[in-house]
Structure 1
Amino acid sequence: MEPTVQVNDDFIKANTNFKELILALKSGFASEDINIPNRHHHLFPNPETGVDSTLLLMPAWHSGKEAGVKIATVSPENERFGLPSVHAIYILMNAVTGTVKATFQAKEMTAKRTAASSALASAFLSKENSTSLLMIGTGVLSTNLIRAHASVRPIDTVFVWGRNQEKAETICEALKHETFNCKAIASIDEKISEVDIISSATLSNTPLVLGKLLKEGQHIDLVGAYKQDMREADDEVIKKASVFVDSFGGRKESGDIFIPMEEGILKEKDIKGNLFSLCLKKTKGRTNDKEITLFKSVGHALEDLVAASYYYEKFTHE
């Protein structure tokens, strides 16, 4: 029996090549052999904070090869405890024997695969000559999203906004050796109308990306707002943009899609495609340089299985 290995966050941090991971995800979304049942999404009370936490169970399997499941919790008020909002573990198994091949500390893996998926979408949806990016949010995803987007587009200027200016400055300090310039800004309005790509990863309940401030040709990447009552973009954004999602199954999980659909602002037929249809070339991405495109991500179990396989190969072939 093959030994079970443990892959920690430090290994994942040190061994991520976004171009490689994006290509692996593209291959995974283009495959019709990976099975992804609906994920379990459960809210449970958190009396100490007064804000519900979320339990996610995300299984996937590639018959005859590998299977896996991620167990994750999201606790929006964890900042008061000095902890990240998301905690997760991933179990990778041999799909033939059912034996466990590896367990992963999945915080970094989740951040990396989420960022790589956004960059994969950007490769289809943003303008090829996009050089500027606005990052909204200063959580663990922010540096990953910036690096991932910069791996598929010639980004030379990055602006970072967060509710805490010091955190935004810390993000830029962490990126000071990258090929692009990074600057913390005091308000979103300062730069949102100027940049080519807007990436938002927050737990906001009210829209931060406003349609009235958008310009032609922008690409909007919405990664946060994972519950039905959360929103990062307002209705005007949805009306102006060509909307894409990571998977059609998750369109009712986030308020950015759920609320406009409930109110009749966005109909199911208005969603242009998802990562499966884009990678299988069943859907066309951006059609012209004036089009505003939007990608809404809620996370997908295929991304976890592909990422776990990617890091397992690296770990066992060091």
Structure 2
Amino acid sequence: MATPIDTDTVTTSPVFISTAVLRSILSYKSLISHLQTSLPAASLSLSTPPRHSHATTPTSSLLLMPSWSSSSSLPYIGVKLVTYNPQNSSLNLPGVHATYVLFSSHTGQTLALMDATELTLLRTASISALASSYLSNNDARVLIMVGAGYLAPHLIKAHLAVRPNLQRVIIWNRTPVKATALASDLRREKGFEGVVFDSCECLEEVIILGDIVSCATNSEAALVAGERLKEGAHLDLVGSFTKTMRECDDEAIRRGRLFVDHEGAWEEAGELVGAFERGVISREDVCGNLVELIKGEKDGRKDSREITVFKSVGSGVVDILAAQLIYETYLKESYKKQI
């Protein structure tokens, strides 16, 4: 958990925290731990209006995600500015670009600007991994990664951080060469000795192998067939954030004990909206949210045989907590270099 910083004493000019700096000061384990310890209290002290979404073209959009705290331990106002351009994949660029602006809630001064593209990737992956620590089997051995975009390597590494017994990661993508390239890149990274990274061209064939199945796509057609999920599997749904997107079919939702990051998923996630409309499940069938899991108010995995499902759509609460840890870690590291 980050140590609170007295922002009234911060009188220097705003700092810019680049992607390179952010990566050098933050780990998945530290962010996951920070979210686990901070989310319950922050959820009570933070004001986080619904995200503003504006279509800038028929396919692109601008999103604004503000959040501010009434707690002295979280003395910040934060706003994430996001652009979504799905056609960027043809340019070998992320579809999402973002900047986060952090202000002091005491003085209103600008404290920091940071690369929120990276922040979003890290916090999204860390939320999935945190949920997995409650919902997947402790002895999970095989992770299936559905999608090979910019979020995929972060999800893989975050899941590995909470499930170190994972021995094999199989990556699928609509464009097979991207899955092959990601597997090759991960094989060359240090720290994953003993983990086998593979790619596949037929998702249906490998889904049944997955102890954890993590999905990060913008698909509008169901990719994961619920009947193919193995006994004891955990399904992690990250990609969809509109009513038209869905990464799994109704059977996957019906078979699993379903949890969400927060109740906004009921309105935004295509898998859930569609399942509600078709009468597959009702809102009362959603077993709980991530804060309730952390606080122990709702049971996570009950036995090794049940199927669990976690759906996240993201929130300003998680953004400001990630920004807090990044900013306060940056100040500490800068101070160490000065002494």
TM-score band, normalised by shorter chain? over 0.9
Greater percentage in helix: 2
State the 1:33 CA deviation: 4.1
Instruction: Answer yes or no: is the 8 Å Cα contact 1:34–1:302 preserved in 2.
Output: no
State which structure, 1 or 2, has the greater radius of gyration over its C-alpha atoms: 2
The alignment yields a C-alpha RMSD, in angstroms, of 1.4
Instruction: Answer yes or no: is the 8 Å Cα contact 1:226–1:255 preserved in 2.
Output: yes
Out of 55, 60, 68, the residue aligned to residue 61 of structure 1 is: 68
Instruction: Pick closer, same or farther for the CA change 1:278–1:36 going to 2, 3 Å.
Output: farther
Secondary structure of the residue that 1:147 maps to in structure 2? helix
Equivalent residue runs for 1:227-306 within 5 Å: 227-306=242-321
State the 1:45 CA deviation: 5.1
Is 1:211–2:218 an aligned residue pair?
A: no
Secondary structure of the residue that 1:89 maps to in structure 2? strand
Equivalent residue runs for 1:43-58 within 5 Å: 43-44=54-55, 46=57, 51-58=58-65
**Cα deviation per residue 1:251-280 (whole Å; 9 max; x = unaligned)?**
211101111112221211111011111112
Q: Distance in 2 between matches of 1:115 and 1:36?
A: 23
**Equivalent in the alignment of 1:317:** 332
**Equivalent in the alignment of 2:182:** 171
Q: Distance in 2 between matches of 1:290 and 1:143?
A: 28
Instruction: Pick closer, same or farther for the CA change 1:78–1:123 going to 2, 3 Å.
Output: same
Q: How many residues align?
A: 314
Q: Distance in 1 between matches of 2:64 and 2:276?
A: 25
Q: Distance in 2 between matches of 1:287 and 1:208?
A: 27
Instruction: Pick closer, same or farther for the CA change 1:215–1:222 going to 2, 3 Å.
Output: same
Q: Distance in 1 between matches of 2:155 and 2:130?
A: 11
Instruction: Answer yes or no: is the 8 Å Cα contact 1:161–1:187 preserved in 2.
Output: yes
Q: Distance in 2 between matches of 1:209 and 1:96?
A: 47
**Equivalent in the alignment of 1:3:** 13
Instruction: Pick closer, same or farther for the CA change 1:233–1:36 going to 2, 3 Å.
Output: farther
Q: Distance in 2 between matches of 1:148 and 1:45?
A: 33
AA partner of residue 266 (structure 1): I
Instruction: Pick closer, same or farther for the CA change 1:42–1:301 going to 2, 3 Å.
Output: same
Greater Cα shift, 289-298 or 23-32: 23-32
State the 1:13 CA deviation: 2.4
Instruction: Answer yes or no: is the 8 Å Cα contact 1:33–1:62 preserved in 2.
Output: no
Instruction: Answer yes or no: is the 8 Å Cα contact 2:204–2:224 preserved in 1.
Output: no
Secondary structure of the residue that 2:230 maps to in structure 1? coil
State the 1:43 CA deviation: 4.4
- Structure 1 unaligned blocks of 5 or more: none
Q: Distance in 2 between matches of 1:199 and 1:282?
A: 25
AA partner of residue 55 (structure 1): L
Q: Distance in 2 between matches of 1:69 and 1:27?
A: 22
Secondary structure of the residue that 1:299 maps to in structure 2? coil
The TM-score normalised by the length of structure 1 is 0.95
Q: Distance in 1 between matches of 2:218 and 2:51?
A: 20
**Equivalent in the alignment of 1:118:** 128
**Equivalent in the alignment of 1:103:** 113
AA partner of residue 156 (structure 2): I
Q: Distance in 2 between matches of 1:246 and 1:75?
A: 24
Greater Cα shift, 56-65 or 154-163: 56-65
Secondary structure of the residue that 1:284 maps to in structure 2? coil
State the 1:61 CA deviation: 2.0
Q: Distance in 2 between matches of 1:295 and 1:173?
A: 28
State the 1:9 CA deviation: 1.2
**Equivalent in the alignment of 2:99:** 89
**Equivalent in the alignment of 2:83:** 73
**Equivalent in the alignment of 1:188:** 203
State the 1:36 CA deviation: 3.5
Instruction: Answer yes or no: is the 8 Å Cα contact 1:5–1:103 preserved in 2.
Output: yes
- Structure 2 unaligned blocks of 5 or more: 1-10, 334-339
Instruction: Answer yes or no: is the 8 Å Cα contact 1:227–1:255 preserved in 2.
Output: yes
Instruction: Answer yes or no: is the 8 Å Cα contact 2:265–2:272 preserved in 1.
Output: no
Q: Distance in 2 between matches of 1:229 and 1:312?
A: 36
Greater Cα shift, 182-191 or 135-144: 182-191
Q: Distance in 2 between matches of 1:80 and 1:181?
A: 29
Q: Distance in 2 between matches of 1:245 and 1:296?
A: 5
Q: Distance in 2 between matches of 1:174 and 1:60?
A: 36
